[in-house]
Amino acid sequence: MKTRVESTSNSLSAKLVRYGQEKFTGRLDLKVSTAQQWSFYLSYGRLVWASGSVHPTRRWRRQIIYHCPEVNPNRIALKKIEPGSCWDYHLMVLLARKRMINPQQTVVVIQGTVAEILFDIFQSLTLVSPEQTLIQPSNGSVSSNTIETLVKKPDNFLLNAQLGVRPSMQGILPQTWMLEVEPIINQVQQVWQQWSEMGLEDVSPDLAPVLLQKSALQQQTSVATYKNLVTLINGKRTLRDIAALLKRDLLLLTRSLHPYIKKQLIELVEVPDLIAPNFVDLPAKAGISTQKSQTQKAQTQKAQKKSDQALIACIDDHPQTCKIMKDVIQSAGYRFLGIQDSIKALPLLLKHKPDLIFLDLVMPIVNGYEMCAQIRRVSMFANTPVIILTAKDGIVDRVRARIVGATDFLSKPINNQKVVATVRKYHTTSPSKTDPVEKGKSP
């Protein structure tokens, strides 16, 4: 027998699918009796975008960092857009138009965004009290462009349709990049069912874990597990944030933490959303802003006049590694800068301004983590890809590397094909050569 919650979720799913089948174009506004609200945007029955939930900025940053590593969300400032527009979708349109992200990346970001929101909706419907029911106001008039969906008991949601509303007035992505309604709903329903079966119904992935009893936790876990937990859990990252950072399945991550949560060794707390990208009121046509000083602009123009061949740097104290990397890089048609002394690395990087940096993890005096952090503190290298070279490729190593700003990992021993593939993947995002967005202030 279906529970009341399942009936409510199925009722909502059926309504959304029906709008897809009827080729609806516009915005569907969903409200549940917990006062939470979400919106779905459709174009000829296909899902364009979705908005809502408690952490829209965290969600957008997660999706971009996970699926579009060449884009640094900290370096984006958005010119003022029309009221009512979805700033996150507006940015996706601009990034796609400027070819900073490809169609495949755009689609998976849309999928990830819609999936998170659908999950939150299913969880919210589960937590609704049986006595709570939304009723359409009896004295409300319906405008000509509004379709009111009357909700009968036992549903605890209200769905209103606004015809012709787009997520951004500046444009819309191609129809082939949009999602079919029913498949994405079925996919998220399966995830939610697994989440519920694990006893996690009341565990929101938007909560942040906090270590309560470190000594007790250390006694009940292995050295490696405890080290991972201390590294990851700082009370500022949500479960979703941590899963994205580790590139690990959210369900598996939460399930692994749940025993410690039940023992009150870890607590889940609410955290605020992050600050959205800057919105600056400029007279120019809406787009990604260029907040740069005249000096910075001159530096960029000077860099653009240099050779079209990208300059690839390798910081490694082993001469043999530098020699191998030099042969591989130059054979692929790129310029090469080898640095074996970590003390001299930063001055040489500032002098030569490489487009991509390979960085050895284990070096004397200054290790790869410290060097990466130093590089990222220089505004010139805020967006320069930094690839860690290492024979160590564990979870803790990856987490530490991402915390200090590493772009990717490349395992040793050196594989020629992987080196070239990595360069071709990341060097086009260099701010001094081909990045069409001039870097502004961090939000």
pLDDT on residue 185: 97
Domain boundary pick from 197, 228, 255: 197
Domain boundary pick from 197, 217, 247: 197
pLDDT on residue 209: 95
Same domain flag for 212 and 193: no
Indicate whether 279 belongs to any domain: no
**What does the CA dihedral 219, 223, 227, 230 come to, rounded to 10 degrees?**
0
pLDDT on residue 393: 62
Residue in 288, 325, 21 with CA at minimum distance from that of residue 13: 21
Indicate whether 439 belongs to any domain: no
Range of the domain at 337: 291-429
Strands (E), 117-173: 146-149, 157-163
Same domain flag for 48 and 111: yes
Same domain flag for 213 and 338: no
The first and second tokens of residue 220, run together, are 């009940």
Q: How far apart are CA 89 and CA 92, in angstroms?
A: 5
Indicate whether 276 belongs to any domain: no
Indicate whether 235 belongs to any domain: yes
Contact present, 137 and 158 (Cβ < 8 Å): no
pLDDT on residue 425: 84
Indicate whether 402 belongs to any domain: yes
Indicate whether 437 belongs to any domain: no
Asked if omega into 283 is within 30° of 0 (cis), the reply is: no
Contact present, 38 and 147 (Cβ < 8 Å): no
Same domain flag for 174 and 223: no
Same domain flag for 226 and 337: no
Same domain flag for 227 and 261: yes
Same domain flag for 240 and 361: no
Same domain flag for 230 and 169: no
pLDDT in tens, the chain (443 residues): 455 556 677 889 999 999 999 999 999 999 986 668 999 999 999 999 999 989 999 999 999 988 998 888 877 766 666 666 899 999 999 899 889 999 999 999 999 999 999 999 999 988 764 444 444 444 443 344 444 443 434 567 899 999 999 998 878 899 999 999 999 999 999 999 999 999 999 999 999 999 998 889 889 888 888 888 888 898 999 999 999 988 899 999 999 999 999 999 999 999 999 887 765 443 334 345 434 434 444 444 444 444 457 899 999 988 888 998 998 899 888 999 999 888 888 989 999 999 999 998 888 777 888 888 889 888 888 889 999 888 766 676 677 777 778 888 888 888 888 898 889 888 754 333 333 333 333 33
Residue in 347, 365, 335 with CA at minimum distance from that of residue 427: 335
pLDDT on residue 60: 95
Domain boundary pick from 152, 176, 197: 197
pLDDT on residue 313: 96
Same domain flag for 96 and 59: yes
pLDDT on residue 128: 64
pLDDT on residue 430: 39
Same domain flag for 346 and 262: no
Q: Give the 3-state secondary structure percentages of the chain, helix then strand then coil, rounded to 5.
A: 45, 15, 40
pLDDT on residue 155: 61
Number of domains comprising the chain: 3
Q: How far apart are CA 21 and CA 27, in angstroms?
A: 15
Indicate whether 82 belongs to any domain: yes
Question: Which of the 8 DSSP states describes residue 380?
Answer: G
Contact present, 87 and 277 (Cβ < 8 Å): yes
Residue in 56, 79, 76 with CA at minimum distance from that of residue 68: 76
pLDDT on residue 279: 58
C-alpha dist (Å) from residue 40 to 192, 274, 280: 19, 22, 27
What pTM was computed for the model? 0.62
Residue burial 369-404, b: 16+ Cβ < 10 Å; e: rest: bebbebbbeeebbbbbbbbbbbeeeeeebbbbbbeb
Same domain flag for 21 and 77: yes
- What's 344's domain CATH number? 3.40.50.2300
Indicate whether 286 belongs to any domain: no
Same domain flag for 365 and 390: yes
